[in-house]
Amino acid sequence: MEFDSLNKKLEEKGSNGKLALILGIIGLAASAFGYFQAEEQFYFSYLTAFFFWGSIALGSLFFTMVKHLTNATWSVVLRRISEAFMAFLPLMVIFFIPIIFGMKQLYHWTDVEAVKHDALLTKKAGYLNTTFFYIRSAVYLIVWTVLARVLYKASVRQDTEGHSEALDKKIKGTSAAGIILFALTLTYAAFDWLMSLDPHWFSTIYGVYIFGGAFLAAICSITLVALSLESKGILEGVITTEHHHDLGKMMFAFTVFWSYIAFSQFFLIWYANIPEETIWFLHRVEGSWKTVTLLLVYGHFLVPFLLLMPRFVKRRSTALKVMAIWILFMHWVDLYWNVLPNFSKHGMHFHWLDLSTMLGIGGIFVWHFWKTYRANSPVPVNDPKLSASIEFTNF
């Protein structure tokens, strides 16, 4: 196959992300206005949006690393998509700044007087304090940035310099160390940024639960872009029904994985019946939050589980696209359900800032994706497994 033509097709038919950039700027401007109208609401809405878009980039980083380590063939044609998503991670440093300014509104444990009169928070003060929080957050963001940049640059070098054992060793070595660092940093970031919103509550598998949602969101995002590029004729014949099938299988598998971890977390805590643990779930079955909880049960598990099970669904682009969009929506609902009950404990109150912050960060995210994706070849042209990936067949 002549891969030079792919670049021309991408240039002619591919999105440049300008509309997304405009929408992102409008969303950020509206959110800034909303900050002066409802400051506390702004921070909780912003944290939800920040983690939603960041989770797609993080899930894509994991997708890239695990494919390098396992020498996967089928996903080679998709790797440049995941790399363009993970390239957003350095920008998370900038988008994290508002969270620093909103520490007092978001995190109860930053109130020194409240900590003094709370025995549990006093015991946790060695970990839950602003200085240590800033240090840990900086470590997470630096690790993710370095991993994303090193892997992306090495992949682009392969395009220009060709395949070499030294470059392959560097990519695999980075991925091997990166998987361990990724597991630690994402787990502790989930503890710090989300779980500590309610500092009295804790769950030892919360990091795995957040990872499951993040990786599933990344698979859905990669699927949507892959289907779009194929339908526009940019990667027609490169991405095939066989790749749809495998993406559908991964969507199905990680729907089950996320559901298993989510249920395990709930079941063990509810069965133990320890008040400081069960109170977290109690807030989420009060008032209209109960409806959101049931929506997650049916919408994040049962619907995709049943619809993605048949083989023919995974091989139909329209059905796969609908399911990817639905699961991404459910991922947002899941994060909203994790964050907002700490602000509104007795019922859900949707605010326009929930939408504007998603639009603001999301617009920049989508624009940056297309900007990065269009900067180089849409597939890793010198990867020795590329031809086998294009010809891949499910059995």
Task: Give the pLDDT score at 368.
Answer: 97
pTM of the model: 0.96
| Residue ranges per structural domain of the chain | 19-375
Measured CA angle at 357 (ends 353, 358), to 5 deg: 115
Does position 199 have pLDDT exceeding 90, yes or no? yes
Task: Give the pLDDT score at 8.
Answer: 80
Does position 95 have pLDDT exceeding 70, yes or no? yes
Q: pLDDT tens for residues 122-144? A: 999 999 999 999 999 999 999 99
Task: Give the pLDDT score at 162.
Answer: 84
**155-181: average pLDDT:** 92
Q: pLDDT tens for residues 339-377? A: 999 998 888 989 999 999 999 999 999 999 999 999 999
Q: How confident is the model at residue 1 (pLDDT cuts 50, 70, 90)?
A: low
Phi, psi of 236 (to 5 degrees): -65, 130
What does the longest C-alpha to C-alpha distance in the chain come to? 70
Q: pLDDT tens for residues 21-77? A: 999 999 999 999 999 999 999 999 999 999 999 999 999 999 999 999 999 999 999
Phi, psi of 239 (to 5 degrees): -95, 125
Does position 2 have pLDDT exceeding 60, yes or no? no
Closest to 81 measured CA to CA, from 150, 23, 27, 10:
10
**240-250: average pLDDT:** 95
Does position 220 have pLDDT exceeding 90, yes or no? yes
Does position 3 have pLDDT exceeding 80, yes or no? no
**What own/partner pairs with CB < 8 Å and gap ≥ 24 does 166-175 have?**
171/68, 172/68, 172/69, 174/65, 174/147, 174/150, 175/64, 175/65, 175/66, 175/68, 175/69, 175/151
**255-274: average pLDDT:** 94
Does position 116 have pLDDT exceeding 70, yes or no? yes
DSSP state of 236: B
**Residue 45 neighbours by CB under 8 Å, 6+ apart:** 31, 340, 351, 353, 354, 356, 357
Q: pLDDT tens for residues 274-321? A: 888 899 999 999 899 999 999 999 999 999 999 999 999 999 999 999
User: Mean pLDDT score of the chain, rounded to an integer?
Assistant: 94
Name the percent of the chain lying above pLDDT 70: 99
Task: Give the pLDDT score at 11.
Answer: 80
